[in-house]
């Protein structure tokens, strides 16, 4: 049984399901697979469109949890997930990443004495104030098989005392999705992406976009958008300075949209002649925009990883990252700038001068999902033999 809850999970579970199907077609031990969607991202743009575009089958179970505070999501997910596990009685439960569903379902799995495999184990930001960091720590402590995306993550686990036999370095499953969808994304035209996804209230803006001529931005973390002073300072730099160098394409998270309105910035951003606001967009559209961007500004961990492989110079709007392998000091494409405007300004102008330099860390090769399936089968055989 595998569990997804939020949009980052969907991009990681798609290649896993495909790898399970390949394994079953090849013969040998058949894997019966049940897909559970907790419903944390439940609207069409944030969820259903990703299932369709990535070829993910309809979930066998949808818990329909919806939005809410961390406590509400964690508690309701546990209550809804428990009877599903009892009914289906899986041998293994596969959880992904660091969203609330990952924590909730790993707790219930262990309560019911089920084996847990964690895809993307071992990631650490060192910031215990991040909800995701708590989710990672607890899930890794409960997991029987820890599937890591890089050797830095594996070392984190050994440093924390996790037995080496529980750790399996398999690579980054996000890159499987990227490699599987590059060709499809390349067919898309930037102008059509903008036309089809522009926010309706936005006036027509005469901006001609071509590859390597625009900036791409995403921003949704509370540290960046929930405080009026911080959000205002970021918007002033974006509107008054950054857009003088490149137009900015900005797929807007619902949380950020709401906070712009609350801070009294919405109308100014909406009508800025060099900012193109988009609704949340599908995976292929975002991949196409990333391929063509001259610079990325983001607080998304997944986009950091994609920028690394695509070579898109990236400013990470965070003070820490659980993905240090994506940083320039480790050969990646990203630099941490937090939400300090002076640092952002310095790195923005320096980054505009950088070339596009793709880097693929070890095992970021599009074959991670197959290694994951093989690792789970090997762990299951070991457990059975014992």
Mean pLDDT computed over 321-330 = 95
> Selecting from 3.20.10.10, 3.40.50.2000, 3.40.50.300, 3.40.50.450, what CATH number does the domain 183-351 have?
3.40.50.2000
On the CB side of 193, CA atoms within 13 Å amount to 28
In whole numbers, what is the pLDDT of the chain averaged over residues?
A: 94
User: d(Cα 226, Cα 230) in Å, to the nearest integer?
Assistant: 8
Residue 269 neighbours by CB under 8 Å, 6+ apart: 235, 239, 260, 275, 277
Catalytic residue among 156, 220, 272, 284: 220
Average pLDDT of the segment spanning 337-354: 97
> Residue 54 pLDDT more than 90?
no
Digit-coded pLDDT (tens) for 177-217: 999 999 999 999 999 999 999 999 999 998 989 999 999 99
Residue 36 pLDDT > 60, yes or no?
A: yes
> So what's the pLDDT on residue 354?
94
Q: Do 2-172+364-385 and 183-351 fold alike per CATH?
A: yes
How far apart, in Å, are the Cα atoms of 22 and each of 1, 28, 259, 373? 17, 11, 44, 10
Binned at pLDDT 50, 70 and 90, residue 220 comes out as very high
The stretch 61-75 carries a mean pLDDT of 86
The pTM (predicted TM-score) of the whole model is 0.92
Does residue 220 carry a catalytic annotation?
yes
Phi, psi of 313 (to 5 degrees): -55, 135
Tell me the HSE value of 353 on the side-chain side, using a 13 A CA sphere. Answer: 4
Average pLDDT over residues 120-142: 95
What average pLDDT score do residues 348-358 get? Answer: 95
- What percent of the chain has pLDDT above 70? 96
Where exactly are the structural domains of the chain? Answer: 2-172+364-385, 183-351
The CATH architecture that domain 2-172+364-385 belongs to is 3-Layer(aba) Sandwich (3.40)
């Amino acid at each position: 049984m595998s569990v997804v809850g939020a949009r980052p999970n969907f991009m990681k579970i798609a290649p896993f399901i495909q790898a399970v199907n390949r394994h079953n077609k090849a013969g040998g031990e058949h894997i019966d697979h049940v897909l559970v969607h907790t419903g944390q991202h439940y609207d069409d743009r944030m969820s259903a469109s990703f299932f369709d575009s990535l070829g993910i089958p309809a979930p066998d179970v949808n818990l329909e949890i919806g939005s809410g505070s961390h406590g509400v999501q964690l508690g309701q997910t546990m209550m809804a997930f428990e009877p599903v596990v009892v009914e289906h009685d899986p041998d293994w439960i596969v959880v992904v990443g660091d969203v609330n569903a990952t924590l909730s379902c790993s707790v219930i799995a262990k309560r019911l004495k089920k084996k847990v495999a964690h895809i993307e184990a071992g990631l650490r930001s060192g910031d215990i104030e991040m909800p995701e960091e708590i989710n990672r720590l607890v899930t890794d402590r409960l997991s029987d098989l820890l599937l890591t995306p890089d050797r830095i993550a594996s070392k984190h686990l050994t440093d924390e005392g996790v037995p080496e036999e529980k750790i399996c370095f398999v690579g980054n499953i996000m890159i499987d999705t990227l490699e599987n969808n590059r060709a499809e994304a390349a067919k898309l035209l930037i102008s059509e992406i903008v036309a089809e996804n522009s926010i309706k209230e936005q006036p027509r803006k005469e901006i001609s976009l071509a590859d390597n001529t625009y900036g791409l931005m995403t921003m949704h973390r509370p540290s960046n958008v929930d405080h009026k002073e911080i959000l205002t300072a970021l918007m002033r730099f974006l509107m008054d300075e950054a857009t003088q160098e490149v137009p900015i394409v900005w797929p807007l998270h619902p949380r950020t949209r709401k906070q712009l309105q609350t801070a009294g910035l919405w109308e100014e951003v909406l009508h800025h002649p060099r900012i193109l606001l988009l609704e949340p967009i599908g995976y292929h559209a975002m991949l196409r925009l990333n391929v063509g961007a001259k610079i990325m500004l983001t607080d998304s961990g997944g986009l950091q990883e994609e920028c690394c492989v695509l070579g898109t110079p990236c400013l990470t709007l965070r003070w820490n990252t659980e993905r240090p392998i994506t940083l320039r000091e480790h050969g990646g494409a990203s630099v941490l700038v937090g939400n300090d405007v002076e640092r952002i300004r310095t790195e923005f102008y320096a980054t505009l001068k950088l070339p596009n330099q793709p880097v693929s860390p070890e095992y970021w090769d599009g074959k991670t999902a197959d290694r994951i399936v093989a690792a789970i089968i090997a762990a299951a055989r070991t457990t059975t033999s014992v």
